[in-house]
Chain A
Amino acid sequence: DADVTQTPRNRITKTGKRIMLECSQTKGHDRMYWYRQDPGLGLRLIYYSFDVKDINKGEISDGYSVSRQAQAKFSLSLESAIPNQTALYFCATSLGQGPWDGYTFGSGTRLTVV
């Protein structure tokens, strides 16, 4: 099994629908992150969490919410999906002990809002 698992891998949903993207990890990392990737914009941070009680907004959190159900699980919700939320979404984890700690990424969720 992958260290960081994202489900679903692909999803098409309609405008106005609520959708949840799930992320689970076996790395034992405390820090978890949600990013979205758009062409020409790179990856932008939506939310991040240091533990189940510590959740922080990233640079583009409007229209999204998150839940850290356990150390290993971090879910991203779109309460009412809109077409400009069509993107590739990544979950990532990190030890976060220093600037040398990069990320372990999930495989991504490709979301299309029609």
Chain B
Amino acid sequence: AQKITQTQPGMFVQEKEAVTLDCTYDTSDQSYGLFWYKQPSSGEMIFLIYQGSYDEQNATEGRYSLNFQKARKSANLVISASQLGDSAMYFCAMSSGSSNTGKLIFGQGTTLQVKP
């Protein structure tokens, strides 16, 4: 069965510094996708970044990058130059390429607080 684990319930980072949010996953699939979503205090879910299991390069989207280490089954989110607006809950999620259900499995989430 697929599983996503986020071991950091809460994190603090100083404004303008970089921060890494951890995500490990477990799957027997060869084809899968990894996602990060941001949930600000208003509650909506905002897509940040995607990494496919066959992608050789780490995904980047502006200040967000995904540190994909396939052998270690980790997909950590790196936020560079943190801003106050980055304070939010962050979820790691995984899709399966074999089940064809399109379901996403989510981790428990990490709350990030950016200090001025």
Contact = CB atoms under 8 A, between A and B. Distances in A.
Contact of B95 (A35, A43, A102): A102
Contacts of B103: 33, 45, 48, 58
A71 to B, nearest CB: 15
Interface residues of A, number: 28
Contacts, number: 71
Interface of A: 31, 33, 35, 40-45, 48, 56, 58, 88, 90, 92, 94-96, 98-103, 105, 107-108, 110
B56 interface: no
Nearest to B94: A99
Contacts of B47: 102-103
Contact of B43 (A33, A41, A45, A107): A107
B108 A99 contact: no
Interface string B92-108: 01011100111110111
A44 to B, nearest CB: 8
A67 to B, nearest CB: 19
Contacts of A58: 103
A40 B102 contact: no
Nearest to B100: A96
A37 to B, nearest CB: 8
17 contacts: A33-B104, A35-B106, A41-B108, A42-B4, A42-B91, A43-B91, A43-B104, A90-B45, A96-B102, A99-B32, A99-B95, A100-B52, A101-B102, A102-B93, A103-B45, A103-B104, A107-B44
Nearest to A104: B47
B68 interface: no
A42 B90 CA distance: 10
Nearest to A39: B109
Contacts of B102: 31, 33, 48, 94-96, 101
A86 to B, nearest CB: 15
Nearest to B55: A100
A31, A43, A99, A107: which has the most chain B beta carbons within 10 Å?
A99
Contact of A42 (B97, B100, B107): B107
